[in-house]
Amino acid sequence: MGFQCKDLGVTYKTQNGELEALTDVSFSVRDHEFVCLVGPSGCGKSTILKLVAGLLEPTLGTIAFDTVPANGRPRNAMVFQEHGVFPWMNVIDNVAFGLEIRGVPREERRAIARRFIARVGLSHFEESHPHELSVGMRQRVSIARAFVNDPEILLMDEPFGSLDAMTKMVMTEELMGIWSRQRKQVLYVTHDIEEAIMLGDRILVMTGRPGRIREEIEIRLPRPRDLRDRDSAEIVKIKEHVWEILEEEVRSGLREGS
Amino acid sequence: MNGRKLAGSMIPVIPPAILIVTLTLIETVTRMEILPSLFFPPPSAIVSTLYDMTTEGELLDHLSATVLRLLTGFLLGGIPGMILGMMMGWSTAIRRILDPFVAALHPVPKISSLPIIMIIFGIGFVSRTIVVAVASFFPMLINTMAGVRQIHPIYFDVARNSGASRMQILRRVVLPGSTPFILAGVRLGLNVSLSISLAVELLLADKGIGTLIWMAWQTMRIEELYAAIVTAALVGISIRLFVQVMLDRCVPWATKART
């Protein structure tokens, strides 16, 4: 279930006039495709996710989904960098939240939630509250909650951005494992180029504000990919290419900012 | 065990030790008449007066009158304060419309409205309760509003992303997310209610701890005066303990996450 974004633009009204966050953003996500968005900070990556999620209306442009259910929008689930799990709910209630909202009876939703909690390796923590968990474990809860909703589209906003390098590597591999079993359409925001190369079928590189898609890069590496291969010639080549674009964008952003 | 550890393990014993030393000191000074016992009765005498007043006198009647007044007033003012605070916290429009009025009325010392309230509602139980209600309305409103506003916007996004209705967001995000602040408002509100209750009783009630203080003063029964003040202090301490228990029970995630 893919979707196409066409000429998206977002303008915010601020006290100092209008702020153009996004302009002429067009791209598509195909069936079962994992697409990564990379770009300098503040370029509107997260704004694109909110548009697709329907949390924000675009000022300009349209998003067309391949199939649209009667009630409007195909089911999507968002994973945030942090603050994604409710501190006042225990793990199982957090994971079952979407099911609760849809009116799934308590015992049934807990049974479903348990399956997904097991899949992210948190079976012993079902009754724990987020403050009793590490940051990495909380992100597992977020991911389990997203998958439990059986979304057509998965939107991830730097889900591992606040993790240390080791945990991040493990979590990235786990995410690839889960995704390979349930091939959702994914739009994944990150500022980590290596991560994008490891995960994505395609990388969309964005410009600085107002954000546009500057280049699309197909990643034709076979799956499953091994994070230990990241020094291979092909990966290094892509990395250097993306980095060149980003460096240019970041530098010009700094010049404008000063 | 090294010195620092030893010192650390001593810390819990220090407050009771300070209390005992202070009380002993006052007891000695007053017994030796270094301070005139007419104005400063020894702590032991206050405790025994407190005991006599509880068993023989009407202390419990006065206490329950004050507690009833402060609770009725608090609920009457606090619940609307909480509801309005929630609306003002959640909706920017409502906040912008009502905030000027809150800002103007909040600093007014509420006890100063008592004469007007008495003119309107007479000098009975109703007036005395209404002034307590008015006083506890604002701490609840302001804390609840702050409590809703400090909820991270991402929690609202998560809920909306799951398709939650406004009712569901209220029940699963707004209420639990603001509970720590609401409980802080409960503590402030109850304390204000206690102060105002006492003030009203000093002025015109026929029953209550404030009345007791006033009567003891007029008849120069200094020990009873102190005993009544100690009773008022105990009510204040109970409020604190009650809120602490509520915090531990209702929002362990907020209290324990910070330690």
Do B24 and B148 fall into the same domain?
A: no
Our CA-based measurement puts residue A253 at a distance from the nearest CA of chain B, in whole angstroms, of: 27
Q: Share the mean pLDDT of chain A.
A: 87
Residue B217 neighbours by CB distance under 10 Å? 14
| pLDDT tens digits along B124-165 | 888 889 999 999 999 999 999 999 999 999 999 999 988 899
Number of domains in chain B: 2
Mean pLDDT of B194-220: 90
**Gap between the Cα atoms of B123 and A81, Å rounded:** 59
**Residue A80 to residue B158, Cβ atoms within 8 A:** yes
Name chain B contacts of A149, Cβ cutoff 8 Å: 162
| pLDDT tens digits along B47-73 | 999 999 998 878 999 999 999 999 999
Angle formed by the axes of helices B209-218 and B59-90, nearest 10°:
130
**Residue B162 to residue A101, Cβ atoms within 8 A:** yes
Exposed/middle/buried for residue B239 (C-beta within 10 Å: 0-12, 13-18, 19+) = buried
Do B236 and B156 fall into the same domain?
A: yes
Q: Is the bond into A210 cis (omega within 30 degrees of 0)?
A: yes
Of A83, A100, A102, the CB nearest to B155: A83
| pLDDT tens digits along A87-143 | 999 999 999 999 999 999 999 999 999 999 998 889 999 999 999 998 888 988 998
Do B25 and B141 fall into the same domain?
A: no
The verdict on A129 touching B (C-beta cutoff 8 Å) is yes
Give the pLDDT of residue A202.
94
**Span of A6-10, B35-39, B45-49, B213-217 with lowest mean pLDDT:** B35-39
In terms of CA atoms, which chain A residue is nearest residue B167? Answer: A101
- CB within 8 Å of chain B, chain A residues 221-250: none
Do B174 and B73 fall into the same domain?
A: yes
Of A80, A84, A101, the CB nearest to B163: A101
Q: How confident is residue B254, by pLDDT bands cut at 50, 70 and 90?
A: confident
Nearest to A86 by CA among A23, A145, A43, A134: A145
Give the pLDDT of residue B87.
95
**Residue among A88, A90, A94, A142 with most chain B CBs within 10 A, to mutate:** A88
Name chain A contacts of B172, Cβ cutoff 8 Å: 86, 89, 97, 100
Q: How confident is residue B3, by pLDDT bands cut at 50, 70 and 90?
A: low
Mean pLDDT of B15-28: 93
Our CA-based measurement puts residue B156 at a distance from the nearest CA of chain A, in whole angstroms, of: 10
**Gap between the Cα atoms of B235 and B22, Å rounded:** 22
Name chain A contacts of B154, Cβ cutoff 8 Å: 80, 82-84
Expressed as residue numbers, the domain containing B213 is 47-257
**Residue A131 to residue B177, Cβ atoms within 8 A:** no
Residue-wise DSSP of chain A: --EEEEEEEEEEEETTEEEEEEEEEEEEE-TT-EEEEE-STTSSHHHHHHHHHTSS--SEEEEEESS--TTSS--EEEE-SSS-S-TTS-HHHHHTHHHHHTT--HHHHHHHHHHHHHHTT-GGGTT--GGGS-HHHHHHHHHHHHHHT--SEEEEESTTTTS-HHHHHHHHHHHHHHHHHS--EEEEE-S-HHHHHHH-SEEEEEPSSSB-EEEEEE----SS--GGGTTSHHHHHHHHHHHHHHHHHHHHHHHHH-
Our CA-based measurement puts residue B258 at a distance from the nearest CA of chain A, in whole angstroms, of: 9
In terms of CA atoms, which chain B residue is nearest residue A129? Answer: B253
Give the pLDDT of residue A257.
60
Q: How confident is residue B258, by pLDDT bands cut at 50, 70 and 90?
A: very low
Question: Is residue B257 scored above 80 in pLDDT?
Answer: no
**Gap between the Cα atoms of B232 and B211, Å rounded:** 12
Question: Is residue B1 scored above 60 in pLDDT?
Answer: no
Of B157, B252, B257, the CB nearest to A55: B157
**Gap between the Cα atoms of A129 and A92, Å rounded:** 9
Q: In what order do the strands lie in the sheet with A185-189?
A: A76-79, A153-157, A185-189, A34-38, A202-206, A213-218
**Global ipTM:** 0.84
The verdict on A111 touching B (C-beta cutoff 8 Å) is no
The values of phi and psi at residue A184, to 5°, are -80, 165
Do B63 and B18 fall into the same domain?
A: no
Task: Please report, for the domain that includes residue B220, its CATH number.
Answer: 1.10.3720.10
Do B196 and B250 fall into the same domain?
A: yes
Do B22 and B139 fall into the same domain?
A: no
Residues 6 or more apart in contact with residue B132 via CB below 8 angstroms? B69, B70, B72, B73, B74, B76, B77, B193, B196, B197, B200
Give the pLDDT of residue B180.
94
**Gap between the Cα atoms of B82 and B75, Å rounded:** 10
Name chain A contacts of B257, Cβ cutoff 8 Å: 87, 131
Do B8 and B65 fall into the same domain?
A: no
Our CA-based measurement puts residue A88 at a distance from the nearest CA of chain B, in whole angstroms, of: 6
| Length in residues, chain B | 259
Do B155 and B197 fall into the same domain?
A: yes
Q: B25 — alpha (psi -120 to 50), left (phi > 0) or beta? A: alpha
**Residue A98 to residue B172, Cβ atoms within 8 A:** no
Question: Is residue A258 scored above 50 in pLDDT?
Answer: no
A95, A232, B115 from A186: Cα distances, Å: 19, 25, 67
Residues 6 or more apart in contact with residue B4 via CB below 8 angstroms? none
Do B165 and B222 fall into the same domain?
A: yes
Do B234 and B134 fall into the same domain?
A: yes
Name chain B contacts of A101, Cβ cutoff 8 Å: 159, 162-164, 168
Most confident of A65-69, A149-153, A243-247, B100-104: B100-104
Do B226 and B130 fall into the same domain?
A: yes
Of A82, A97, A131, the CB nearest to B162: A97
Proportion of chain B above pLDDT 70, given as a percent: 96
**Residue A80 to residue B157, Cβ atoms within 8 A:** yes
**Gap between the Cα atoms of B21 and B14, Å rounded:** 10
A10, A158, A159, A190, A222 from A56: Cα distances, Å: 9, 19, 20, 20, 35
Give the pLDDT of residue A247.
87
Q: Is the bond into A224 cis (omega within 30 degrees of 0)?
A: yes
Mean pLDDT of B28-55: 88
Q: How confident is residue B175, by pLDDT bands cut at 50, 70 and 90?
A: very high
